[in-house]
Structure formats: structure tokens, C-alpha cells
Amino acid sequence: MKEELIIKAKEILEANFQEGGFTIPCQGLYPFQWKWDSGFIAIGLAYYNIKNAKREIETLLNAQWENGFIPHIVFHNDSDTYFPGADFHKSELHPLASKEYRSTGMAQPPVTGFVLQKMLNIAEDKEDMLQFIDTQIDKVFENHKYFYQHRDIHNEGLVYIYHNWESGTDNSPIWDDIWKTMDPPKYSFERRDTTHVDPSQRPSKREYDYYLHIIEIAKEHNYDDAKIAELSPFLVQDPLFNAMLIKSNAALIDLYEKLGNNKEKVSQLKKWQEKSIKGFNAKLYDAELGAYVHYDLRNNKPIRFISSSSFAPLYAGIPDMERAKQMVNTMMEKFGGEDKYLCASFDPTSDRFNPKKYWRGPVWINLNWILFYGLKSYGFTKIAERVKQDSIELVEKEGFYEYFDSRKEIRKTEAGGYGGNNFSWSAALLIDLINN
Ligand code: 9WN
């Protein structure tokens, strides 16, 4: 059965691979290259097609801006099946944007550092992979430098995101109170996502108004970071985003040390790392909830809800053992009942939980993958194993969907795979999970 899953996963990745040397997340729904998708995809590819795994990283990093920024979507190709596309985002407004590739003007979780490390672990020919990493690693370093220089406005070691699409967890209920502070115009535009996916599984029209409005503000100021920090109604320190940065810092330190002769960069990374872990633990841990939470920088307050992002810091070794135990208790109490698959993307006991809608409840394979390794590294082997088995079972039962219903009982009457089907990172990360 596992062999069949792997064969199917490879078929999906092959079908989604594009001539330009990159992989789309899903046909129709997401026809371009996305930043964190690309990283997860390269991990899966590394098991059987090193050449394409490398190209995946290269094609993403080729679109880096002169200031180190790496965009969340690279529009290598034209496609009218997605909104908003290149003509809406207009990355060319920023003076340092890539002149060769059009893109968005926003980021996504910085996974590329730990992806390179993972590719080295997977590759059989280590020497060859290290040589490849040597050609790419400085770009990732420059990207981290960009974050620390431009997005840590209070010098706390914590970087902000200015848009929910930067978080990767796009319509999480975490953002609901921020939307209440905004009153954007009702834009007229043609949604494309809802022609591919049942609208009950996607964000609402009004939510899209908020999303577009933040971009309009950024565009008015040519995507200038300082202006965005001053004016964006959405300015958040996200525990998932910052944990990915910290995990990638650690990976870059390890890789630079393996490559040798990079003392200055290593020492810079260690400084960032120490400060970030300290700032993270001091500011984002909510002892009462027993988990890490988001912080709303614009409105100066913690956003006190638990989501799967709250547990991502385990993957970056951020909590001490005592906190890690508290987090696991919280996770098992709220998300881990026998009637549920691990791990819902939002607190199933909250009245904001929606089991079918995008990031408001469903299980996502990439977050499960992050949790699997995080739990394992702290010695929570049994729970880690359950996260892995639940992920495999969901895909076996439903197919390689984008997200899944966490409630087991609904399977008696209906299917529980939602969003796009033949979804690339579900395929890529399943290959890695099965191999670990
Ligand atoms: C906006 C591509 C991306 C993922 C995100 C996921 C979804 C896009 C959308 O798809 O976001 O970036 O249009 O909904 O939320 O995590 O990277 O798979």
C-alpha cells in the first residue's frame, strides 16, 4: 500500500512539474511557483530526482530581489486561472525587484534554509549536494539579512508579516479581529479559486477585500518596507513564520560550517539566532494557554488563540522541555481526542473553528510534517508517530488533497478531503514521512 502511495505521489509531482523547471502546487487552482510550497516539494523530489529538486530551488532563488527579498509567488508563466496575478501585484513598483521575473511583493515562511539541509540529509552523493548548496546558500543568507534589517522594527529578534498571505495560513481565525479594525472598499474583481473549489471551503468575498486592500496600501508606497511597517493595518509577529526563520538559521549555521571558510556569516547567524530565540520565548509564549501565540504589532496586543502554528516552535527547538510538555498537553487536550485526526489547523474547541474551511480548522500535511519532526526531536515519539500515521491514513482514504477534515465520524457519510486535489506538497511530504 505504501509503495502505491509513493508511486501516486511521484506521478503528481511529475504532472505538476513545469517546463521552466519549477512545480506548481496544484493544477488550475495554483498555476505558479509558490515559495514555501517549492521548499516542501524539493524535499520530496530529493528522494528520487535530485536534478529537479535542485532546479526547484534554483528557479525560486533566481527570482530574488536585489535587497535579498524572496517573493511568495514567482510568475514564471502566464495563466489566467488565478487571481490576483502579476498585473495586480505589480512587483516592478519596488526599485530593487527582480527585473527578470514578475512576482508578488510579499514573502512566505522562510523554509529554504532547512530545506537545503534536509536535501543534504536525503542525497546519497553528499559531495555533489554540498557543491550545489554552496552555489545557493548565500542567497538564503541574504534573505535572512533582509528580514532582520527590515522587518524587526523594535530590534527584538522577531520579524513581522504584513499580510495574511505571508503567513501561509491565510484565512485563519487569528486574523478575524484585525479585519474588524479595517473597513476596505468592496472591490469588484473576478475570483478564480471558487471556480476550482467549493466556495464553502475557501475564504469569503469580504475576506478577499481585506487581502486586496493591504496590497493596495503597500503598492501606493511601492512596497517600501518602512512605509509598510508604518501604515499596514496588518502587522503581526507570527510564531510559525519566526519558527521557520529560526529553524533555517540553525540549518544555515550547520551548512556553512560544513562548507568551511564562512566564519563571519556563521557568527552573524549565531547572533541573530540567540536574540530570536530569546525574544520569541519572552514575547510569544502564553503560559495560561500553554502554547505560543501571535502578537498584533499594529494594535499592540497578543492574539490569544491556539492554532497548529502555536506548536511549530517545537520544530525549531525553541521551548525548553517544561514548556514543550505544556504544549503537548494543550495539543492533546484540545486537538488530540480519539475521534479526531491530528492536527487541526485551528483550536477545535473554539467557536471560530470551521472543519471544512481552508485554514479555519482542516488538517494540512505541511503543518503535520513540521509537528512530526518537532515532537520527535523532544522525545514525544508516540504522538509524533500518530501525527505521521494520521497523515498517511488521511491521504490513503481521501487522496492527495490540499486539506482534510479532522473529524473522523464524518467519513461515515461524506468524503473529508478538501481544496485542491493532486496537491504537490501533500505528495512530496508524504514521500518523506513514509521514509522516516
Ligand atoms: C495564496 C499555494 C498556496 C499556499 C498557501 C495556501 C494557499 C494562496 C491562495 O495556496 O494560498 O498564497 O490563493 O489561497 O494558503 O499556504 O502556499 O499552495
Convert the pLDDT of each residue in 375-387 to its tens digit: 999 999 999 999 9
Residue 288 contacts residue 231 (beta carbons within 8 Å): no
Question: From the alpha carbon of 165, which atom of ligand 1 is closest?
Answer: 12
Local structure of 363: helix, strand or coil: strand
Question: From the alpha carbon of 37, which atom of ligand 1 is closest?
Answer: 17
Gap from CA of 218 to ligand 1 centroid (Å): 19
Residue of the CA atom closest to atom 10 of ligand 1: 30
pLDDT at 274: 98
Residue of the CA atom closest to atom 5 of ligand 1: 168
Q: How far apart, in whole angstroms, are the C-alpha atoms of residue 136 and residue 42?
A: 14
pLDDT at 285: 98
* DSSP codes joined into one string, 138-207: HHHHHHHHHHHHHS-TTSSS---BSSHHHHS-TT-GGGHHHHHT----------SHHHHS-GGGS--HHH
pLDDT at 380: 98
Place of cell 492533546: 332
pLDDT over 90 percentage in the chain = 96
**pLDDT over threshold 80, residue 1:** no
User: Which of 170, 192, 308 is the pocket-test mutation for ligand 1 (most atoms within 8 Å of CB)?
Assistant: 170
Instruction: Read off the pLDDT of residues 150-194 as tens digits, 9 standing for 90 and up.
Output: 999 999 999 999 999 999 999 999 999 999 999 999 999 888 999
- The reply to whether 402 belongs to the active site is yes
pLDDT at 372: 98
pLDDT at 375: 98
pLDDT at 247: 99
Q: Single out the catalytic residue among 37, 152, 347, 402.
A: 402
pLDDT at 261: 83
Residue of the CA atom closest to atom 4 of ligand 1: 168
Instruction: Read off the pLDDT of residues 254-306 as tens digits, 9 standing for 90 and up.
Output: 999 999 989 999 999 999 999 999 999 999 999 999 999 999 999 999 999 99
Maximum pairwise Cα distance, the chain: 60
What is the band of 201 on the pLDDT scale with cuts at 50, 70, 90?
confident
**pLDDT over threshold 80, residue 30:** yes
> Which residue type, as a one-letter code, is found at position 345?
S
Residues 6+ apart with CB under 8 A from 87: none
Gap from CA of 33 to ligand 1 centroid (Å): 11
Instruction: Read off the pLDDT of residues 106-131 as tens digits, 9 standing for 90 and up.
Output: 999 999 999 999 999 999 999 999 99
Strand partners, 344: 363
Instruction: Read off the pLDDT of residues 43-63 as tens digits, 9 standing for 90 and up.
Output: 999 999 999 999 999 999 999
Instruction: Read off the pLDDT of residues 216-257 as tens digits, 9 standing for 90 and up.
Output: 999 999 999 999 999 999 999 999 999 999 999 999 999 999
Gap from CA of 104 to ligand 1 centroid (Å): 13
Q: Single out the catalytic residue among 58, 142, 170, 207.
A: 170
Task: Give the binding-site residues of ligand 1, using a 6 Å CB cut-off.
Answer: 25, 30, 34, 36-37, 165, 168, 170, 193
Residue of the CA atom closest to atom 1 of ligand 1: 165
